[in-house]
Structure 1
Amino acid sequence: MKPVNKNDRITVHVEDLTHDGAGVAKVEGYPLFVPGALPGEDVVVHVLKTLKSYGFAKLIEIKQSSPFRVTAPCPVFDTCGGCQIQHLSYEGQMTFKQKLVRDAITRIGKLPDVPVHPVKGMEHPWRYRNKSQIPFGTQDGKVVAGFYQPRSHDIADTDICLIQTPEADAIMVSLKKSLAEMGIEPYEEATHRGMLRHVVVRKARATGEIMVVLVTKKKKFPQAAHAIELIQATVPEVTSIVQNINSEKTNVIFGAETLTLWGKDVIEDQIGDVRFEISARSFYQINPEQTEVLYGQALEYAQLTGKETVIDAYCGIGTISLFLAQQAEFVMGVEIVPQAIEDAKRNAELNGLSNTLFEAGPAEQVIPRWYKEGKKADVLVVDPPRKGCDEQLLRTILKQRPTRVVYVSCNPATLARDLRILEDGGYRTKEVQPVDMFPQSTHCEAVAWLELAE
């Protein structure tokens, strides 16, 4: 029998946070998830739903507050899904994220003795996003723009986002005010009507160059000249204005076709000493300041002397590959997206790094062929998506047995799962370094260093 029922109002003690930032309280061992509550707090809650092994409750009153609780500065923090833990001080966020990684490594990876270091955070953990993807729509006949509410595609209308650039805010507000008079109808996902779906703003930290991407339902865009004029007047620093056409009935942001309306086709940025050309659809790390920290950590764990051959699986546009190529004898990158490989080749040329090879295809197929051709790696670097490494790729690593593996992860749970597989196959995890790429959110990246056991 469950110790609580729907509509109960009870006082509970919060013990932990979930991976998405909800407080966890236990009533006779039965977990209740309480959004907005923080560890160490005594709170009054209203029970909303009870399932067999856990339930959900609404925070009503805080009886005993956490010393790490702060007032969230964002005006739409309670309704927007972009940030989950603005109400937790940055010191508290660092403690939570280290625990998040350590718990995963211990519980899922069964590696309690592996050191998980304190998180490398930011001195100023605001306004860090170099790319903003802003949906537009209408509510009660009014044009709205902002970010999606949690677990929905309803827009939390706002004029400011404290984790994106001021330039993105300015463009969002200016377009929102002017769409009606320009005769541009915001897209409505439910009816598949309207023109403007999203506005994507990218800013290069090193150069200050700004790209604005107008994602439209149709290619024909008669108001384009007015939109260009408005954007230029709002943010004169803009160097590229691009149209992307997405005519599909989908919630995927970009379509296949991209046209340059004004200015350059790309913007240029720099991480460390490496320059990158970024197009409208290029994958590029969101937080450039912390990307340098993350890649610096990967480089440290790779322990390159200038004599090593490195394979970078999931290489994207070559960001980590080119970082490594500065200190390795040769770097080979593989990525399943052909356009990303073209970007990687162009970026290698841009930096004069001829000690690189990039190939499109599944890593688990390309890497074994490289080995058969005699292209063997001393160090293998993986930076997979949230789902972790492909099972076949892990088998490939265990078969080819590079001396060192550097695992860059955006999901502690799948990192821990994959470390366990590699450990069982003969590797030893030396240490794990978390890096805070997304302050104010629950996401945490980490870099793991593995050596082949002798």
Structure 2
Amino acid sequence: MTETIELEIEGIAQGGDGVGRLEELVVFVSGAIPGERVRANVYERHTRFLRATVSEILRAAPERIAPRVSPGDHVPWQHIDYPAQVRLKGAIVAEQIRKFLPNIAVPIQPVIAAPQPWGYRNSARLHVDGSALGYHATGTKTVIDLTDDPLLLPVLREALAGLRQLSFAGLINEVTLRASAAYGYAAARLSPTLPADYPALVRLATSWMASTPGLAGITLNDEPLLGTTHIYDELDDVVFRLSLNSFFQVNHAQAERMVAIVQTALAPHGGRLLDAYSGVGSFALPLARFYDEVIAVEAHEPAVHDGRQSARDNQIQNVHFIAGVAERTVANLPGPFQAAILDPPRRGCHPALISAIIAHAPARIIYISCHPGLIGRDLMPLLTADYQITLVQPIDLFPQTPHIETIIALQR
């Protein structure tokens, strides 16, 4: 039987759940906001804590607003007004740093809010189940049929609307959409069901592009199907060539700010820069003009190919991309490096990479975290190796979600 509880929500947890107490137990409540009293259904019980989801708001917080998307599993904070989202994200970062790095002296800067709380995403990965097209429900493989997604840039919303007018059931199981924020067009990547019905897929692509003026190309997995196989976008005056499966920051305006923050924090003045987990070179290429040489290490080979092509297109000759796993590759690179950028995926840095960075002993390091709970784990070895934190700058790339990016600068 479902266990229902009532409690006051006193705080916010890493991951975005409200936090309350039931006698000696900590309760993490999804959908709750600090300052509320809620009735919640418990779905997971442990010795010291419970996990629950809101079933009824008994006393709403003033920051609670009406949801815009229903169902909205991919926008789990849409019920919180945006200024409050920013404050809560700052609280999450501060709590995690004070918990795991209690002795740092530098103040945590206020979160840099996004200029557009909606309509900012330049990419989307949508799943298909029969005629249902949308995102997976949280923790499941069930596809939530989505008629529209106001998180997306307008050209991607138009592409989504165009596809929904067509018959795609049985032909595809996944669609990746990518837009150029700088140039205002989009391209799509289809993953077909097997065996692929190639003639039907060509008809689908032709009809889709005909009804969607902003859609410039469609690929079948990574093979050309119709139109362009990649897009171009700009970041800090560098034009990037982007394959449809290469990573690029989803929030273009905030990505521009990140490049500026990293440049200021590094105070570059020549020498060599190491960019680990470099992707297509989002930092390596814009910062190349400040260094004698930049080494960009990335495991995803399509991203390396894009980075090399972008370097050629922009006539940047001092950036060298290496295709390889960061923790194995960096240890074997010849030094010295004057600076290093670590921008790992959500799982954080591999310990072997941190050890390799310590061995190279760059004077300045930029560590970029998209998981506040791992900041302490990744940075403690650097602090032990005589690095000091000089900047903690959270920046919101993902409005309507609890995700938060944090740029941390260290100096030896």
Q: Aligned ranges for residues 229-378 of structure 1 at < 5 Å?
A: 229-244=206-221, 258-305=222-269, 307-371=270-334, 375-378=335-338
Q: 2:77 aligns with which of 85, 105, 118?
A: 85
Partner AA of 1:260 in structure 2: P
Q: Distance in 1 between matches of 2:397 and 2:237?
A: 20
Could you tell me which residue of structure 2 aligns to residue 249 of structure 1? none
Residue 9 (structure 1) shift: 4.5
Q: Distance in 2 between matches of 1:204 and 1:236?
A: 14
Could you tell me which residue of structure 2 aligns to residue 438 of structure 1? 398
Q: Contact 1:104–1:413 (CA<8 Å) still a contact in 2?
A: yes
Partner AA of 1:185 in structure 2: A
TM-score (norm 2): 0.94
Q: Spell out, residue by residue over 1:401-437, the C-alpha distance to the aligned partner (whole angstroms, 9 max, x if none).
A: 1111111121112222111111011111112101111
Q: Are residues 1:225 and 2:188 paired?
A: no
Residue 159 (structure 1) shift: 0.7
Could you tell me which residue of structure 2 aligns to residue 203 of structure 1? 179
Q: 2:160 aligns with which of 172, 188, 192?
A: 172
Q: Contact 1:131–1:203 (CA<8 Å) still a contact in 2?
A: yes
| Count of matched residue positions in the alignment of Structure 1 and Structure 2 | 411
Q: 2:134 aligns with which of 142, 146, 150?
A: 146
Q: 1:121 aligns with which of 89, 113, 116?
A: 113
Larger Rg: 1
Q: Contact 1:209–1:268 (CA<8 Å) still a contact in 2?
A: no
Residue 171 (structure 1) shift: 3.2
Distance 1:356 1:174, change over 3 A: closer
SS of 1:222's partner is helix
What 5-or-longer segments of structure 1 have no aligned partner?
Answer: 1-5, 187-194, 245-257
Q: 2:122 aligns with which of 105, 116, 130?
A: 130
Q: Spell out, residue by residue over 1:181-232, the C-alpha distance to the aligned partner (whole angstroms, 9 max, x if none).
A: xxx533xxxxxxxx31112111101011311212113454111332123212
Q: Are residues 1:162 and 2:150 paired?
A: yes
Partner AA of 2:295 in structure 1: M
Q: Contact 1:134–1:172 (CA<8 Å) still a contact in 2?
A: no
Q: Distance in 2 between matches of 1:323 and 1:43?
A: 48
SS of 1:185's partner is coil
Q: Spell out, residue by residue over 1:279-310, the C-alpha distance to the aligned partner (whole angstroms, 9 max, x if none).
A: 121121111111111122111111112x2311
Q: Contact 1:299–1:323 (CA<8 Å) still a contact in 2?
A: no
Distance 1:403 1:75, change over 3 A: same
SS of 1:349's partner is helix
Could you tell me which residue of structure 2 aligns to residue 73 of structure 1? 68
Partner AA of 1:346 in structure 2: Q
Q: Are residues 1:408 and 2:368 paired?
A: yes
Q: CA RMSD in A?
A: 1.9
Q: Distance in 2 between matches of 1:379 and 1:293?
A: 19
Which of 13-22 and 47-56 deviates more? 47-56
Q: Distance in 2 between matches of 1:283 and 1:48?
A: 35
Partner AA of 1:161 in structure 2: D
Could you tell me which residue of structure 2 aligns to residue 12 of structure 1? 7
Residue 23 (structure 1) shift: 1.6
Distance 1:233 1:84, change over 3 A: same
Partner AA of 1:159 in structure 2: T
Q: Distance in 2 between matches of 1:9 and 1:433?
A: 39
Q: Distance in 2 between matches of 1:48 and 1:325?
A: 51
Could you tell me which residue of structure 2 aligns to residue 213 of structure 1? 189
Which of 265-274 and 17-26 deviates more? 17-26
What 5-or-longer segments of structure 2 have no aligned partner?
Answer: none
Q: Are residues 1:384 and 2:376 paired?
A: no
Residue 329 (structure 1) shift: 2.3
Residue 360 (structure 1) shift: 1.6
Which of 217-226 and 320-329 deviates more? 217-226
Q: Distance in 1 between matches of 2:55 and 2:345?
A: 37
Distance 1:48 1:314, change over 3 A: closer
Residue 111 (structure 1) shift: 3.7
Could you tell me which residue of structure 1 aligns to residue 354 of structure 2? 394
Partner AA of 1:411 in structure 2: H
Q: Distance in 2 between matches of 1:406 and 1:20?
A: 23
Residue 271 (structure 1) shift: 0.9
Q: Contact 1:109–1:417 (CA<8 Å) still a contact in 2?
A: no
SS of 1:440's partner is coil
Percent of counterpart pairs with the same letter?
A: 28
TM-score (norm 1): 0.86
Q: Contact 2:155–2:185 (CA<8 Å) still a contact in 1?
A: no
Residue 49 (structure 1) shift: 4.6
Q: Distance in 2 between matches of 1:212 and 1:243?
A: 9
Q: Distance in 1 between matches of 2:56 and 2:197?
A: 53
Could you tell me which residue of structure 2 aligns to residue 61 of structure 1? 56
Q: Contact 1:45–1:60 (CA<8 Å) still a contact in 2?
A: yes
SS of 1:268's partner is strand
